[in-house]
Every structure is written in C-alpha cells, then in structure tokens.
Amino acid sequence: MQPGVLRVLRATNASWWRHRELRRTGHTALAQRLERQTVLRDLGYLKQAASLPNAHVICGEGGTFLHLGWTTVSTFAPIERFPLASLAVARGTPFIDIRPVTDVIAFANLPPVARDGSVDPDHSGPGGSVSLTSYIDMVEELGASITNDPRPCRST
C-alpha cells in the first residue's frame, strides 16, 4: 500500500471525534487499537473498490456514497470531505458526480447498478439492475460528470 494512502487514513481516523475523546480521557491504547482497526477496514474497502467490477463512487446533494457491491460506505458530506471516497477515486474507481443533474425525478427512476456484477437483461421491472457502464450512460444523459470512466475510450 502506498505510504500516502496510509498517512491519509491514519490522520482521518485519529481526528475522528470518538478517538480524540478517548485520547483526551487517557485511553490512548484503546484509541490506537480502534484507529488501527478502522484503517484496516478502510484498506479493505479500497481493495474492494479496485477489484469489484461495479464498484463506484457517486456524489450528490445528499452526500457521497462508495458502492462496493453489497456494501455501501457513505457520508452526508461532499466527496471533498470524505477521504476514503477521494482515495478510491484517486486510485481509479469510477466517480459519478450527480450534483449538476437537475431532473431529480428522472434520476430517481433510473435502475440501480447490479451489486454483484451480473446484469438483468430486462431492467424495466421492479428489482431490475443494470451494469455500471449502462448506468453511466443513463446518468451522463441527465448531466452527470464522470471521472475514471470505465467505458472504452472515454476516460477523463
């Protein structure tokens, strides 16, 4: 793992309010153990983001979501204040910025991205899903911007 990634994860976890409070009250060993566990968990998320076919980060007015198949890590903050998602994007995970999308009804009616990499050929029914590349095609038509585009010949 790159030292810069570890440095960011360690700093983020050390600054978390619970860990700061544990240190302030003299529970330094517990704070360090919890920080270590959190860094290892976040490293696992980054590895999943790099290896799963439909992993992606999406950011809108409601916050930022790191979708990892059956797991989602989220915050109400924009990606600029979510270091884990920023690291995933910096390492090549597709990023869908839906903040420019104005037609929220059309966006809400889009089918979800398949969680396990499989694709439902008829995504029109309830519970149907599409591949990440199909989803990107749909949100791009609504005005979303794409970074680390996984579609052939379209990387930005």
- Out of 10-14, 63-67, 104-108, 140-144, least confident range: 10-14
Sign of CA dihedral 64, 89, 92, 147: positive
What's the pLDDT score for residue 121? Answer: 57
What's the pLDDT score for residue 153? Answer: 73
- Sheet strands (E) in the chain: 56-60, 63-68, 71-75, 95-97, 145-147
Residue 59's Cβ-side half-sphere holds a number of Cα atoms within 13 Å equal to: 19
What's the pLDDT score for residue 117? Answer: 62
* pLDDT tens column, 43-81: 999 999 999 999 999 999 999 999 998 899 999 999 999
What's the pLDDT score for residue 125? Answer: 55
Instruction: For the beta carbon of residue 55, count every other beta carbon within 10 angstroms.
Output: 23
Is residue 140 predicted with pLDDT exceeding 70?
A: yes
Distance CA 80, CA 129 (A): 29
What's the pLDDT score for residue 55? Answer: 94
What's the pLDDT score for residue 95? Answer: 97
CA 86 to each of CA 12, 35, 61, 80, 131: distance values in angstroms, whole numbers, following the listed order: 12, 19, 16, 7, 23
Band the pLDDT of 2: cuts 50, 70, 90.
Answer: confident
Q: What is the pTM of this model?
A: 0.85
* pLDDT tens column, 112-127: 998 876 665 555 556 6
Tokens 């600029």, located at residue: 80
Check residues 14 and 84 and name the one with the higher pLDDT: 84
Q: What is the CA radius of gyration of the chain?
A: 17
| Average pLDDT value over all residues in the chain | 88
The residue among 121, 54, 9 whose CA lies nearest residue 1 is: 9
> Mean per-residue pLDDT for 126-132?
81
